[in-house]
């Protein structure tokens, strides 16, 4: 048999193999018991690690012991001192066999209890959260809100580091599919809160709360964490981490925290999730600092905030060109600047370069897929390719509320408006204190003409963010759809505390024009901070607005002067941006105001064709309305009414009351066809 064969035979004879098998099974049983006892007794996390270390050290010792010693009727003896003819190793082996069978049966029983009995008893799928049982709603047991971490450092700049740690832990947890994790926006209001855990859990719809503190001192970082049951206020898990301040240690701690929470909530981790938790985005601490600062700037922070965010992300990738996540986030920032502000195609090129770099560095990164989805969506309105990217990303980050919202926006803009609602509701579920999502859902219901529902969601947004004027503005327009005499818009516009942002200037002008107060309309234009009122749907130089005011007032001489000055601006802009429907839509008003019929209709038709409703169900209807306005300005009432029929016959976000209050259609009111059209689509109770 040879030396190897003799050695294996000897291992079996001395029962070394049996001992190894028994040791392995008993070790597994002990670890299962420790896993149950440690959280039950609120023992620190190192207890479980200590038992694992003891078991690992004991294994080779047990094998050495089995090889070197033999149990005899006279007691324990060294194997070399035992006469082979008197050896009882065979009898000992049979006893070990019976022990193996018994231990295996116990292990199977423990596994069955853990799998089929204890899971339901110890970790129910849901709990009831409410002081009043009549109002209690089931909340997933595997749901968690991560409250803002307390900064225990003397240096105020460390607050960015602490918030960055908070964001990263949230991001890690959001990758675990079996957990429901409340997003950052909703938990930030609970910084330094005095509310109790049950109240927080009820408001956020979660069963558990994670809270902690971070102290950064020199090259050391100390982190304390505890997971609390929101129903019983009991500690489910707690641990402390004291490490040298390196990116490797930071990300390792974040991974350990996420894994510990998953274990405490009995949430299984897939191999892909385990791999994602173990990833290290960057080894450059300064690049990580720039990244954290950039990520802390909210998406709705305006031009200045976006400019700062871009600079910080650019610094991060400059310091670490291999920082894939920073490249992906940089791409998203470029796309935000393109979509919301500049419409400069150079930003599309910069975004694509950053996305390609992110994929090169990390081919499976979900954030890169989300950025690529945004690229196809905002850059080209290529909805199918954008949705394909989200279908890849969302399973990788199932707790990312923005990914669901983006998918909802894409479906809505594609015209699948009702189908877009569940994704926005999912965003609300994951981010219940964020006023943006109910506001967007209000817009969705407004697009469908379900104005009562729209108002209800706008009011929810107002309750969450009472100082945000836009939700009040959107509600005011929705209220007009139900009541043509509603004063909600007028009452809001006379508020002197309103800012002079373009959309509010435009709404202030629109409100005054609806009331026929042309002096107030001109005053509203004069308050603008910019020379052009522009967003993703309009591009309106101030002289265009002045010209329209004088035109509807009936002063064609004054309006012509404003229209001529605007015409120069818009013609040059059209030459530079021949595919921008906003420019041609504004040009159609200018030409119509100057009596240039053919040019006006050609410009209106160009805008209409550049962004038809079947390409953009959100902004497309606006160009149908503007086409109708152009016809009305030219005195072509039948054609204007035909376009208004096209507008109202499909989901558009416009109602007959909006049309009736629009001064552009005042001269249509006596037309029987117009009256019939308004009656046909009148909102009925």
Sketch the domain layout of the chain as residue ranges: 2-122, 134-277, 285-397, 499-680
**CA distances to 263, 521, 561 from 526, in Å:** 61, 9, 17
Q: What is the DSSP letter of 148?
A: P
532 three-state secondary structure: strand
- Give the model's pLDDT for residue 108: 56
CA-to-CA distance for 98 and 103, rounded, in angstroms? 9
Residue 369 CA neighbour count, 13 Å, CB half: 19
CATH 3.40.50.10310 correct for 134-277: no
Q: What is the DSSP letter of 147?
A: P
3-state secondary structure 119-166: HHHHCCCEEEECCCHHHCEEEECCEEEECCCEECCCCCCHHHHHHHHH
- Give the model's pLDDT for residue 405: 97
- Give the model's pLDDT for residue 118: 44
Are 249 and 259 in contact, with CB atoms under 8 Å apart? Answer: no
Residue that is written with structure tokens 């020379």 in the block: 531
417 three-state secondary structure: coil
Assign domain 285-397 to its CATH superfamily: Tetratricopeptide repeat domain (1.25.40.10)
121: tokens are 């008893």
Q: Give CA torsion, residues 144, 146, 147, 151, to 10 deg.
A: 150
Answer whether 285-397 and 499-680 agree in fold. Answer: yes
**CA distances to 109, 175, 496, 646 from 622, in Å:** 67, 39, 29, 12
In the chain, what is the straight-line distance between the N-terminal and C-terminal CA atoms, in Å? 94
- Give the model's pLDDT for residue 122: 45
3-state secondary structure 77-117: EEHHHCCHHHCCHHHHHHHHHHHHHHHHHHHHHHHHHHHHH
Residues 6+ apart with CB under 8 A from 282: 247, 288, 291, 316, 320, 322, 323, 325, 326
- Give the model's pLDDT for residue 153: 79
**Which of 384, 380, 392 minimizes the C-alpha distance to 415?**
384
Burial of 585: CB neighbours in 10 Å, binned 0-12, 13-18, 19+: buried
Q: What is the DSSP letter of 321?
A: T
**CA distances to 313, 503, 513, 656 from 661, in Å:** 46, 19, 9, 9
CA-to-CA distance for 371 and 351, rounded, in angstroms? 8
CA-to-CA distance for 324 and 573, rounded, in angstroms? 37
The architecture of the domain spanning 499-680 is Alpha Horseshoe (1.25)
- Give the model's pLDDT for residue 7: 55
- Give the model's pLDDT for residue 121: 41
Question: How many residues belong to the chain?
Answer: 685
CA-to-CA distance for 100 and 421, rounded, in angstroms? 57
- Give the model's pLDDT for residue 83: 47
In terms of DSSP bridges, do strands 208-217 and 150-151 run parallel, antiparallel, or are they unpaired? parallel
Residue that is written with structure tokens 């190894």 in the block: 20
CA-to-CA distance for 289 and 157, rounded, in angstroms? 10
140 three-state secondary structure: strand
Averaged in consecutive runs of 10 residues, what is the pLDDT profile of the chain (685 residues)? 54 58 66 60 57 68 59 51 49 54 57 48 54 62 93 79 90 92 93 91 93 88 93 90 88 91 87 86 93 86 89 97 97 94 91 98 95 97 97 94 96 96 96 95 96 97 93 96 95 85 90 94 91 89 97 95 96 93 97 97 98 95 98 97 97 96 95 96 80
- Give the model's pLDDT for residue 333: 96
**CA distances to 49, 119, 272, 564 from 177, in Å:** 26, 18, 11, 59
């Amino acid at each position: 048999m040879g030396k190897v064969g003799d050695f294996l035979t000897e291992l079996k004879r001395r029962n070394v193999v049996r001992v190894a098998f028994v040791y392995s099974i008993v070790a597994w049983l002990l670890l299962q018991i420790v896993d149950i006892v440690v959280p039950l007794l609120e023992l620190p996390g190192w207890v479980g690690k200590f038992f694992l270390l003891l078991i690992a050290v004991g294994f080779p010792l047990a094998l050495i012991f089995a090889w070197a010693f033999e149990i005899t009727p006279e007691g324990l003896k060294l194997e070399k001192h035992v006469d082979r003819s008197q050896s009882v190793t065979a009898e000992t082996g049979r006893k070990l066999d019976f022990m193996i069978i018994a231990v295996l049966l116990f292990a199977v029983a423990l596994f069955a209890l853990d799998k089929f009995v204890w899971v339901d008893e110890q970790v129910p799928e849901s709990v009831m959260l409410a002081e009043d049982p009549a109002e209690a709603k089931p909340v997933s047991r595997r749901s968690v809100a991560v409250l803002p971490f307390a900064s225990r450092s003397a240096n105020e700049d460390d607050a960015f580091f602490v918030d960055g740690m908070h964001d990263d832990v949230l991001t890690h947890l959001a990758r675990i599919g079996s957990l429901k994790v409340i997003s950052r926006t909703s938990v930030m209001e609970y910084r330094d809160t005095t509310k109790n855990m049950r109240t927080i859990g009820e408001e956020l719809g979660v069963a558990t709360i994670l809270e902690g503190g971070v102290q950064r001192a020199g090259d050391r970082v100390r982190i304390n964490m505890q997971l609390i049951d929101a129903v019983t206020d009991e500690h489910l898990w707690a641990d402390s981490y004291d490490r040298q301040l390196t990116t490797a240690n930071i990300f390792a701690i974040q991974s350990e925290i996420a894994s510990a929470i998953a274990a405490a909530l009995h949430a299984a981790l897939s191999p892909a999730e385990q791999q994602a938790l173990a990833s290290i985005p960057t080894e450059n601490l300064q690049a990580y600092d720039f990244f954290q600062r950039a990520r802390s700037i909210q998406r709705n922070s305006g031009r200045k905030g976006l400019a700062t965010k871009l600079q910080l992300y650019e610094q991060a990738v400059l310091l670490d060109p291999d920082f894939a996540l920073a490249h992906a986030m940089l791409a998203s920032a470029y796309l935000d600047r393109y979509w919301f502000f500049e419409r400069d195609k150079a930003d599309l090129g910069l975004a694509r370069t950053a996305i390609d770099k992110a994929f090169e560095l990390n081919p499976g990164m979900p954030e890169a897929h989300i950025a690529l989805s945004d690229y196809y969506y905002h850059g080209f309105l290529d909805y199918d390719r954008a949705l394909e990217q989200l279908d890849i990303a969302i399973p990788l980050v199932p707790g990312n509320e923005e990914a669901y919202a983006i998918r909802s926006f894409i479906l809505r803009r594609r015209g699948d408006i009702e189908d877009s609602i569940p994704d926005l509701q999912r965003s609300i579920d994951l981010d219940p204190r964020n006023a943006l999502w109910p506001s967007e859902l209000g817009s969705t219901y407004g697009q469908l003409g379900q104005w009562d529902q729209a108002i209800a969601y706008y009011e929810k947004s107002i309750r969450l963010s009472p100082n945000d004027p836009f939700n009040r503005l959107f509600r005011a327009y929705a209220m007009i759809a139900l009541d043509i005499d509603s004063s909600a818009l007028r009452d809001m516009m006379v508020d002197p505390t309103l800012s002079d942002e373009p959309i509010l200037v435009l709404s202030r002008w629109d409100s005054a024009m609806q009331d026929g107060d042309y002096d107030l309309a001109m005053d509203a234009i004069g308050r603008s901070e910019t020379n052009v009122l522009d967003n993703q749907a309009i591009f309106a130089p101030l002289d265009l607005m002045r010209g329209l005011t004088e035109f509807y007032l009936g002063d064609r001489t004054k309006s012509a002067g404003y229209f001529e000055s605007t015409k120069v601006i818009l013609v040059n802009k059209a030459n530079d941006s021949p595919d921008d429907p906003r420019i041609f839509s504004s040009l159609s008003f200018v030409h119509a105001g100057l009596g240039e019929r053919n040019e006006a209709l050609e410009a209106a038709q160009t805008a209409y064709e550049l962004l038809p409703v079947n390409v953009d169900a959100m902004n497309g209807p606006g160009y149908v309305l503007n086409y109708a306005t152009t016809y009305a300005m030219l005195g072509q009432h039948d054609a204007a009414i035909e376009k208004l029929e096209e507008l109202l016959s499909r989901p558009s976000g416009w109602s007959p009351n909006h049309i009736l209050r629009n001064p552009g259609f005042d001269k249509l009111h006596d037309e029987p066809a117009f009256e019939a059209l308004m009656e046909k689509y009148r909102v009925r109770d």
